[in-house]
Structure 1
Amino acid sequence: MKLSTKVEELTNIIAPAVAACDVALWGVEFVPQGRRSLLRIYIESLPEEQAQDKQVTIEDCAAVNHQVSGILEVHDPIAGEYILEVSSPGFDRAFFSEEQMRDYIGQTVSLRLIQAIGQGDKKRRKVTGNLDSMGATSLILTATDNEQFEITFSNIDKANLVFEDA
Protein backbone atom coordinates (compact mmCIF):
# COMPACT_ATOMS: atom_id res chain seq x y z
CA MET A 1 0.00 0.00 0.00
CA LYS A 2 2.65 2.45 -1.04
CA LEU A 3 1.29 5.92 -1.68
CA SER A 4 2.26 7.73 -4.85
CA THR A 5 4.57 10.72 -4.61
CA LYS A 6 1.67 13.01 -5.58
CA VAL A 7 -0.58 11.62 -2.83
CA GLU A 8 2.24 12.03 -0.29
CA GLU A 9 2.73 15.66 -1.40
CA LEU A 10 -1.01 16.36 -1.17
CA THR A 11 -1.27 14.64 2.23
CA ASN A 12 1.53 16.82 3.62
CA ILE A 13 -0.23 19.96 2.37
CA ILE A 14 -3.73 18.90 3.48
CA ALA A 15 -3.00 17.37 6.92
CA PRO A 16 -2.59 20.66 8.86
CA ALA A 17 -5.82 22.05 7.37
CA VAL A 18 -7.73 18.92 8.38
CA ALA A 19 -6.26 19.00 11.90
CA ALA A 20 -7.36 22.64 12.22
CA CYS A 21 -10.96 21.40 11.84
CA ASP A 22 -10.65 19.06 14.86
CA VAL A 23 -10.97 15.85 12.84
CA ALA A 24 -8.44 13.19 11.85
CA LEU A 25 -7.18 12.62 8.32
CA TRP A 26 -7.87 8.98 7.35
CA GLY A 27 -6.56 9.12 3.80
CA VAL A 28 -6.23 10.91 0.46
CA GLU A 29 -7.01 9.65 -3.04
CA PHE A 30 -5.93 11.51 -6.16
CA VAL A 31 -7.28 10.34 -9.51
CA PRO A 32 -6.07 12.26 -12.58
CA GLN A 33 -8.86 12.16 -15.17
CA GLY A 34 -7.70 14.07 -18.22
CA ARG A 35 -8.43 17.75 -17.84
CA ARG A 36 -10.37 17.34 -14.60
CA SER A 37 -8.89 15.38 -11.69
CA LEU A 38 -10.55 14.06 -8.53
CA LEU A 39 -9.16 14.72 -5.07
CA ARG A 40 -10.97 12.73 -2.40
CA ILE A 41 -10.20 13.29 1.30
CA TYR A 42 -11.42 10.91 4.01
CA ILE A 43 -11.78 12.22 7.55
CA GLU A 44 -12.90 10.68 10.82
CA SER A 45 -13.51 11.73 14.39
CA LEU A 46 -10.54 12.15 16.68
CA PRO A 47 -9.78 9.03 18.77
CA GLU A 48 -11.09 10.56 22.00
CA GLU A 49 -14.37 11.45 20.24
CA GLN A 50 -14.63 7.94 18.76
CA ALA A 51 -14.52 6.60 22.32
CA GLN A 52 -17.68 8.67 22.92
CA ASP A 53 -19.28 7.31 19.69
CA LYS A 54 -19.10 10.70 17.95
CA GLN A 55 -19.22 10.44 14.16
CA VAL A 56 -18.11 12.71 11.32
CA THR A 57 -20.91 15.11 10.35
CA ILE A 58 -21.77 16.94 7.15
CA GLU A 59 -20.66 20.11 8.93
CA ASP A 60 -17.23 18.53 9.55
CA CYS A 61 -16.93 17.69 5.85
CA ALA A 62 -17.97 21.20 4.83
CA ALA A 63 -15.44 22.78 7.23
CA VAL A 64 -12.62 20.59 5.90
CA ASN A 65 -13.65 21.33 2.31
CA HIS A 66 -13.48 25.07 3.02
CA GLN A 67 -10.11 24.84 4.84
CA VAL A 68 -8.49 22.58 2.25
CA SER A 69 -9.78 24.66 -0.67
CA GLY A 70 -7.98 27.69 0.74
CA ILE A 71 -4.74 25.77 1.28
CA LEU A 72 -4.85 24.30 -2.23
CA GLU A 73 -5.37 27.76 -3.75
CA VAL A 74 -2.21 28.98 -1.99
CA HIS A 75 -0.01 25.95 -2.79
CA ASP A 76 -1.57 25.13 -6.20
CA PRO A 77 -0.28 21.51 -6.27
CA ILE A 78 -2.75 20.25 -8.89
CA ALA A 79 -2.42 21.28 -12.53
CA GLY A 80 -5.71 22.09 -14.22
CA GLU A 81 -9.21 21.66 -12.85
CA TYR A 82 -10.11 19.25 -10.08
CA ILE A 83 -13.09 18.17 -8.03
CA LEU A 84 -12.64 18.13 -4.25
CA GLU A 85 -14.67 15.60 -2.24
CA VAL A 86 -14.58 15.22 1.54
CA SER A 87 -16.27 12.32 3.33
CA SER A 88 -15.97 9.81 6.13
CA PRO A 89 -14.29 6.48 5.28
CA GLY A 90 -17.61 4.67 5.79
CA PHE A 91 -18.30 1.10 6.84
CA ASP A 92 -16.32 -0.35 3.92
CA ARG A 93 -13.35 1.91 4.54
CA ALA A 94 -10.27 1.77 2.39
CA PHE A 95 -6.98 1.35 4.23
CA PHE A 96 -4.14 3.71 3.35
CA SER A 97 -1.48 2.16 5.62
CA GLU A 98 -0.70 -1.08 7.38
CA GLU A 99 -1.09 0.65 10.75
CA GLN A 100 -4.75 1.42 9.99
CA MET A 101 -5.40 -2.29 9.39
CA ARG A 102 -4.06 -3.32 12.82
CA ASP A 103 -7.23 -2.06 14.52
CA TYR A 104 -9.29 -4.45 12.38
CA ILE A 105 -7.57 -7.78 13.12
CA GLY A 106 -10.29 -10.43 13.37
CA GLN A 107 -12.53 -8.73 10.81
CA THR A 108 -13.12 -9.37 7.12
CA VAL A 109 -11.01 -7.49 4.59
CA SER A 110 -10.82 -7.46 0.81
CA LEU A 111 -7.42 -7.15 -0.86
CA ARG A 112 -6.38 -6.42 -4.43
CA LEU A 113 -2.83 -7.65 -4.96
CA ILE A 114 -0.02 -6.65 -7.28
CA GLN A 115 1.20 -10.24 -7.79
CA ALA A 116 -1.18 -13.23 -7.85
CA ILE A 117 -1.05 -15.68 -4.93
CA GLY A 118 -2.10 -19.31 -4.65
CA GLN A 119 -1.26 -22.55 -6.42
CA GLY A 120 -1.83 -23.69 -10.02
CA ASP A 121 -5.20 -22.72 -11.49
CA LYS A 122 -6.29 -21.22 -8.13
CA LYS A 123 -3.98 -18.19 -8.48
CA ARG A 124 -5.74 -14.92 -7.72
CA ARG A 125 -5.09 -11.22 -7.41
CA LYS A 126 -8.20 -10.53 -5.34
CA VAL A 127 -8.80 -12.21 -2.01
CA THR A 128 -11.37 -11.65 0.73
CA GLY A 129 -11.20 -13.18 4.17
CA ASN A 130 -10.55 -12.85 7.87
CA LEU A 131 -7.53 -10.75 8.86
CA ASP A 132 -5.96 -13.21 11.32
CA SER A 133 -2.77 -11.39 12.31
CA MET A 134 -0.16 -8.89 11.20
CA GLY A 135 3.61 -8.93 11.49
CA ALA A 136 6.24 -6.35 10.62
CA THR A 137 6.18 -6.99 6.86
CA SER A 138 3.16 -9.22 6.17
CA LEU A 139 -0.30 -10.30 7.26
CA ILE A 140 -2.04 -13.65 7.62
CA LEU A 141 -5.48 -13.91 6.00
CA THR A 142 -7.88 -16.85 5.93
CA ALA A 143 -9.86 -16.60 2.70
CA THR A 144 -13.59 -17.32 2.53
CA ASP A 145 -12.74 -20.79 1.12
CA ASN A 146 -10.66 -21.46 4.30
CA GLU A 147 -7.34 -21.26 2.43
CA GLN A 148 -4.77 -19.36 4.48
CA PHE A 149 -2.30 -16.90 2.95
CA GLU A 150 0.68 -14.91 4.16
CA ILE A 151 0.70 -11.71 2.13
CA THR A 152 3.49 -9.13 2.21
CA PHE A 153 2.40 -5.52 2.58
CA SER A 154 4.43 -4.62 -0.51
CA ASN A 155 2.14 -6.92 -2.58
CA ILE A 156 -1.07 -5.11 -1.54
CA ASP A 157 -2.39 -2.65 -4.11
CA LYS A 158 -5.70 -1.86 -2.34
CA ALA A 159 -7.29 -2.97 0.91
CA ASN A 160 -10.81 -2.42 2.22
CA LEU A 161 -12.81 -3.44 5.26
CA VAL A 162 -15.82 -5.59 4.35
CA PHE A 163 -18.93 -4.40 6.18
CA GLU A 164 -20.77 -7.19 7.94
CA ASP A 165 -24.18 -6.42 9.37
CA ALA A 166 -24.31 -7.83 12.89
Structure 2
Amino acid sequence: MKPSSKIAELTELIAPAVRACGVELWGIEFMPQGRKSLLRIYIEVLPDAKAAGEHITIEDCTAVNHQVSGVLDVHDPIAGEYILEVSSPGFDRPLFSPEQVAQFIGEVVSLRLIHAIGTGDAKRRKVTGRLSAATDTTMSVTTDDAQVFDIEFNNVDKANLVYTD
Protein backbone atom coordinates (compact mmCIF):
# COMPACT_ATOMS: atom_id res chain seq x y z
CA MET A 1 0.00 0.00 0.00
CA LYS A 2 2.98 2.25 -0.29
CA PRO A 3 2.13 4.79 -2.97
CA SER A 4 4.41 5.14 -5.97
CA SER A 5 6.42 8.32 -6.32
CA LYS A 6 3.98 9.48 -9.04
CA ILE A 7 0.97 8.96 -6.73
CA ALA A 8 2.80 10.78 -3.91
CA GLU A 9 3.56 13.70 -6.26
CA LEU A 10 -0.05 13.85 -7.47
CA THR A 11 -1.40 13.62 -3.92
CA GLU A 12 0.73 16.54 -2.77
CA LEU A 13 -0.44 18.59 -5.73
CA ILE A 14 -4.13 17.63 -5.68
CA ALA A 15 -4.98 17.39 -1.95
CA PRO A 16 -5.13 21.17 -1.30
CA ALA A 17 -7.41 21.66 -4.33
CA VAL A 18 -9.73 18.92 -3.11
CA ARG A 19 -9.77 20.35 0.42
CA ALA A 20 -10.65 23.79 -1.02
CA CYS A 21 -13.88 22.20 -2.29
CA GLY A 22 -14.91 21.25 1.26
CA VAL A 23 -14.19 17.52 0.95
CA GLU A 24 -11.17 15.33 1.61
CA LEU A 25 -9.02 13.24 -0.69
CA TRP A 26 -9.65 9.53 -0.03
CA GLY A 27 -7.14 8.25 -2.58
CA ILE A 28 -5.73 8.37 -6.09
CA GLU A 29 -5.30 5.73 -8.78
CA PHE A 30 -3.07 6.54 -11.74
CA MET A 31 -2.97 4.07 -14.61
CA PRO A 32 -0.76 4.83 -17.60
CA GLN A 33 -2.52 3.21 -20.57
CA GLY A 34 -0.51 3.75 -23.71
CA ARG A 35 -1.12 7.20 -25.15
CA LYS A 36 -3.98 8.00 -22.76
CA SER A 37 -3.62 7.60 -19.00
CA LEU A 38 -6.37 7.42 -16.40
CA LEU A 39 -6.28 9.53 -13.24
CA ARG A 40 -9.04 8.51 -10.81
CA ILE A 41 -9.55 10.61 -7.69
CA TYR A 42 -11.70 9.38 -4.81
CA ILE A 43 -13.19 11.99 -2.48
CA GLU A 44 -14.98 11.68 0.84
CA VAL A 45 -16.96 14.10 2.99
CA LEU A 46 -15.17 15.62 5.96
CA PRO A 47 -15.46 13.64 9.22
CA ASP A 48 -17.93 16.03 10.88
CA ALA A 49 -20.15 15.99 7.75
CA LYS A 50 -19.95 12.19 7.68
CA ALA A 51 -21.06 12.07 11.32
CA ALA A 52 -24.06 14.20 10.32
CA GLY A 53 -24.97 11.60 7.66
CA GLU A 54 -23.82 13.58 4.63
CA HIS A 55 -22.50 11.87 1.50
CA ILE A 56 -20.55 12.84 -1.60
CA THR A 57 -22.80 14.35 -4.28
CA ILE A 58 -22.49 14.81 -8.03
CA GLU A 59 -21.98 18.53 -7.31
CA ASP A 60 -19.00 17.68 -5.07
CA CYS A 61 -17.45 15.57 -7.86
CA THR A 62 -18.06 18.33 -10.42
CA ALA A 63 -16.49 20.99 -8.19
CA VAL A 64 -13.41 18.84 -7.49
CA ASN A 65 -13.07 17.95 -11.18
CA HIS A 66 -13.09 21.63 -12.12
CA GLN A 67 -10.66 22.63 -9.35
CA VAL A 68 -8.22 19.76 -9.95
CA SER A 69 -8.30 20.25 -13.74
CA GLY A 70 -7.09 23.81 -13.22
CA VAL A 71 -4.26 22.69 -10.94
CA LEU A 72 -3.19 19.94 -13.37
CA ASP A 73 -3.28 22.36 -16.32
CA VAL A 74 -0.97 24.78 -14.50
CA HIS A 75 1.52 22.21 -13.13
CA ASP A 76 1.25 19.62 -15.95
CA PRO A 77 2.50 16.62 -13.90
CA ILE A 78 1.21 13.99 -16.36
CA ALA A 79 2.95 13.54 -19.70
CA GLY A 80 0.59 13.15 -22.65
CA GLU A 81 -3.17 12.86 -22.62
CA TYR A 82 -5.16 11.62 -19.64
CA ILE A 83 -8.72 11.13 -18.50
CA LEU A 84 -9.67 12.61 -15.13
CA GLU A 85 -12.36 10.84 -13.11
CA VAL A 86 -13.64 12.05 -9.74
CA SER A 87 -15.78 9.69 -7.66
CA SER A 88 -16.85 8.76 -4.16
CA PRO A 89 -15.21 5.58 -2.86
CA GLY A 90 -18.61 3.79 -2.88
CA PHE A 91 -19.65 0.70 -0.94
CA ASP A 92 -16.74 -1.39 -2.21
CA ARG A 93 -14.32 1.41 -1.44
CA PRO A 94 -10.65 1.00 -2.20
CA LEU A 95 -8.36 1.34 0.79
CA PHE A 96 -5.14 3.28 0.34
CA SER A 97 -3.52 3.55 3.80
CA PRO A 98 -3.14 1.70 7.11
CA GLU A 99 -5.28 4.42 8.76
CA GLN A 100 -8.12 3.71 6.35
CA VAL A 101 -7.81 -0.05 6.89
CA ALA A 102 -7.99 0.43 10.68
CA GLN A 103 -11.40 2.13 10.28
CA PHE A 104 -12.90 -1.08 8.88
CA ILE A 105 -11.88 -3.77 11.38
CA GLY A 106 -14.66 -6.36 11.44
CA GLU A 107 -15.55 -5.79 7.77
CA VAL A 108 -14.82 -8.09 4.83
CA VAL A 109 -11.92 -7.04 2.58
CA SER A 110 -10.57 -8.28 -0.73
CA LEU A 111 -6.81 -8.04 -1.23
CA ARG A 112 -4.58 -8.47 -4.26
CA LEU A 113 -1.02 -9.08 -3.15
CA ILE A 114 2.33 -8.37 -4.74
CA HIS A 115 3.89 -11.62 -3.51
CA ALA A 116 2.00 -14.84 -2.82
CA ILE A 117 1.51 -15.90 0.80
CA GLY A 118 0.83 -19.29 2.32
CA THR A 119 2.71 -22.55 1.98
CA GLY A 120 2.99 -25.33 -0.59
CA ASP A 121 0.02 -25.67 -2.92
CA ALA A 122 -1.97 -23.22 -0.78
CA LYS A 123 0.00 -20.16 -1.93
CA ARG A 124 -2.19 -17.30 -3.06
CA ARG A 125 -2.01 -13.73 -4.30
CA LYS A 126 -5.68 -12.99 -3.63
CA VAL A 127 -7.18 -13.06 -0.15
CA THR A 128 -10.76 -12.29 0.86
CA GLY A 129 -11.83 -12.39 4.48
CA ARG A 130 -12.81 -10.52 7.60
CA LEU A 131 -10.34 -7.91 8.78
CA SER A 132 -9.60 -8.80 12.39
CA ALA A 133 -6.73 -6.45 13.28
CA ALA A 134 -4.47 -3.76 11.86
CA THR A 135 -1.28 -2.04 12.95
CA ASP A 136 0.84 0.55 11.17
CA THR A 137 2.57 -2.17 9.16
CA THR A 138 0.32 -5.27 9.02
CA MET A 139 -3.27 -6.44 8.94
CA SER A 140 -4.83 -9.76 9.93
CA VAL A 141 -7.49 -11.29 7.72
CA THR A 142 -9.55 -14.39 8.56
CA THR A 143 -10.94 -16.25 5.55
CA ASP A 144 -14.23 -18.19 5.42
CA ASP A 145 -12.32 -21.44 5.94
CA ALA A 146 -10.86 -20.01 9.21
CA GLN A 147 -7.34 -19.42 7.90
CA VAL A 148 -5.70 -16.36 9.44
CA PHE A 149 -3.24 -14.38 7.35
CA ASP A 150 -1.01 -11.64 8.74
CA ILE A 151 -0.27 -9.48 5.72
CA GLU A 152 2.23 -6.65 5.53
CA PHE A 153 0.89 -3.46 3.96
CA ASN A 154 3.92 -3.23 1.68
CA ASN A 155 2.79 -6.56 0.12
CA VAL A 156 -0.67 -5.22 -0.77
CA ASP A 157 -1.15 -4.13 -4.37
CA LYS A 158 -4.88 -3.38 -4.04
CA ALA A 159 -7.35 -3.49 -1.15
CA ASN A 160 -11.12 -3.04 -1.24
CA LEU A 161 -14.03 -3.45 1.12
CA VAL A 162 -16.49 -6.15 0.08
CA TYR A 163 -20.08 -4.91 0.22
CA THR A 164 -22.34 -7.15 2.30
CA ASP A 165 -25.99 -6.65 3.24
Q: TM-score range by the shorter chain?
A: over 0.9
Write the distance in 2 (CA, Å) between the matches of 1:69 and 1:137. Answer: 34
SS of the aligned residue for 1:21 comes to coil
Write the distance in 1 (CA, Å) between the matches of 2:156 and 2:113. Answer: 5
User: Residues 1-41 of structure 1: CA distance to partner in whole angstroms, max 9, x if unpaired?
Assistant: 01111111111110010000000100011111111111100
Aligned 8 A contact 2:113 2:125 in 1: yes
Write the distance in 2 (CA, Å) between the matches of 1:13 and 1:95. Answer: 20
Aligned to 1:114: 114
* Alignment-mate amino acid for residue 106 of structure 1: G
Aligned to 1:40: 40
TM-score normalized with structure 2 length: 0.97
TM-score normalized with structure 1 length: 0.97
- Residues 8-27 of structure 1 aligned to structure 2 (within 5 Å): 8-27=8-27
Aligned to 2:53: 53
Aligned to 1:143: 143
Residue 74 of structure 2 corresponds to residue 71 of structure 1: no
Deviation at 1:152, TM superposition (A): 1.2
Aligned 8 A contact 2:132 2:139 in 1: yes
Deviation at 1:103, TM superposition (A): 0.5
Write the distance in 2 (CA, Å) between the matches of 1:82 and 1:155. Answer: 28
User: Residues 61-81 of structure 1: CA distance to partner in whole angstroms, max 9, x if unpaired?
Assistant: 000000000001110111111
Deviation at 1:155, TM superposition (A): 1.3
**Structure 2, unaligned stretches of length 5 or more?**
none
* Alignment-mate amino acid for residue 160 of structure 1: N
Write the distance in 1 (CA, Å) between the matches of 2:67 and 2:145. Answer: 46
Aligned to 2:101: 101
RMSD of aligned C-alpha atoms? 0.8
Q: Which moved more, 1:13-22 or 1:127-136?
A: 127-136
Write the distance in 1 (CA, Å) between the matches of 2:137 and 2:88. Answer: 28
Write the distance in 1 (CA, Å) between the matches of 2:22 and 2:135. Answer: 32
Aligned to 2:4: 4
Write the distance in 2 (CA, Å) between the matches of 1:130 and 1:20. Answer: 35
Write the distance in 2 (CA, Å) between the matches of 1:15 and 1:91. Answer: 22
Moved beyond 4 Å, runs of 4+ = none
SS of the aligned residue for 2:164 comes to coil
Aligned 8 A contact 2:98 2:136 in 1: no
